[in-house]
Structure 1
Amino acid sequence: MAMNILVTGGAGFIGSNFVHYMLKAHPDYNLIDLDLLTYAGNLHNFDDIKNESHHIFIHGDIRNAQLVDYLFKTYDFDAVVNFAAESHVDRSILHPEIFVQTNVEGTVNLLQTARKYGIKKYLQVSTDEVYGSLGKEGYFNEESPLAPNSPYSASKAAADLETRAFYETYGLNINITRTSNNYGPYQFPEKLIPLMVTNGMTGGNLPIYGDGENIRDWLYVEDHGRAIDLVLHQGKPGEIYNVGGHNEKTNNQIVDLIVENLGLSKDRIKYVKDRLGHDRRYAIDPSKIKRELGWEPTIMFDKGIIKTIDWYKEHEDWWKPLKSKAALK
């Protein structure tokens, strides 16, 4: 049965990859894409689907109650998938208020409107950063306490709690997904992998925070899209699902791979002052989504990182205009 889905933040990195995935997986679905087009939103992410009739782009803010209400009334949505968020930790340290406005107030506006119109499923896309920092061993699971350490992750944790509250208080059918670090096409070049690849290609230094031994669990973005698709259709009401790749790498390991692939000198690597609130390690246990919904990653890191580097090599026209906007150069 065809669905009408509101995708918020669909012009961003993970959102646009999800749109591409869903148009292939469910060609009869209608995706109405609401995005404010802040610095990280990019309509060029849709150049290859600009004539796709099942994808409708609308420029607007999830905090705009009048606009959001109009869209719900006009398109009779079956579901909402909320990617819309300010997401860069460095920027949250400089302007935490912006993150509260978009990530918390915007989410509550969507939840209020979804409840008003009796939406069948509301899916909040979140992050493993809400759990805080891990030691050298162990994994976060869905029962781990929330302990965010940056204004960004605190705003996402608050949005998650509001989402949970709408299930407990009003009975809204919600799910929350929390993902590990994503990588792949269309990622804004302030994030680690595209920053290093694009700096490597343009002659810049490769800046690494602190000692470079911070550890992240890396997941290819298309595998994340498949997980969201499964949760959207099969997730149990009120449940949280962690989505991880079981692929831990230090920042040093990631940069070394990129240096080797691009044939660069390691002298280009420059260690810079560590950022505030920089969590040491993230790692999440995705066994619940595997057990209940049958999901597991299909693109392993050794292949995914090559696919990603090759994409940036082949799409200089996409990322070169964005370099001046990146937080780190």
Structure 2
Amino acid sequence: MKNIHYLFLGLVAAIGLTACNNEWEDEQYLQQASFKANVNDQGVTTTYVRFRPGGVVKYDLPILMSGSTVNKQNRIIHVGLDPDTLAILNKEQYGHREELYFRQLSEQYYNMPETAEMRAGESVTVFPIEFTLDETLDQSDKWVLPLQILEDPSYGYQANPRKYYRRAMLRLLPFNDYSGTYDASQYKCYLEGDKAKPLTVTSQRAFVVDDHTIFVYAGTRDIDFLDRKQYKIFIRFTDEIVDLQTKKLEIWTDNPNISFNTKDADGKEWVQSYSMSESMDPLKVYLKKIFISLNLHYTFKDITQIPGQKINYEVEGSLSMERKINTLIPDEDQQIEW
């Protein structure tokens, strides 16, 4: 009887072992093609591209094949434009305020293929985009290159159905050595003649014009003001020495209606200057820090805040920025810690 009992247990064990398989070797999910393009709170992917007038700058957008196992076949991933999603995004973000809409980047500023190849044994590839930027691309507009992974039964793959995986809304932000977000805690805007109650902002975004020029918006304005295009203050960085630590800035506007002025009541020119320095982080020895400080002083007239009236403002103070560069990363757009 005892032998029969052991025989029965052995038979059950054999059946159980026969039924088992290495389930971790099988695909547990669906293999779907997706962009790797993290979105911000506006639903777009911030895309930094070095401003290089007359030259081509390559940007590689990663494409992933999801799943628990490695892709086992060669695949050709098809990519196309997606203006419809961009239109929906604008409505969701800004309603009917079309002056604030994201605008689709014109074809003259980029070149891209129709497909990207993902080889067997790989689960990551890149979709190469070549940007050709110049001074004609006005950064007071919010330029976006809207992309989507195309799907067809003949393509031999599935596109991830989720919105921010199948689509990439690339918000293009060209950069030079001076552009970026500056701290504005020491930057004050006053009603002219009354410095008791300054208007302040926490930061000012500086946008690219060319290799040595940026622009900011006058006073406390930013890119989400409907009238922002009338208040661009251009800043050119020169090599003219002001003192041992600073060099001269040239500042101007392209709108004479705001009566931009850089002189005091006696007609004396205010000094516009900047300083730059760099150092290596004492703890993260691979991290280089570049410090930029701008000293600005100007007046302008607000011609749009109250229809039919002009309000005089005086702006003075400093804007400062620290740019951190990871020297271990070869690609410039990736090595800067934005």
Which category of TM-score, normalised to the shorter sequence, fits these structures?
under 0.3
Q: Higher relative CO (CA 8 A, sep ≥ 6), structure 1 or 2? A: 1
Bigger helix share: 1
- Larger strand proportion of the pair: 2
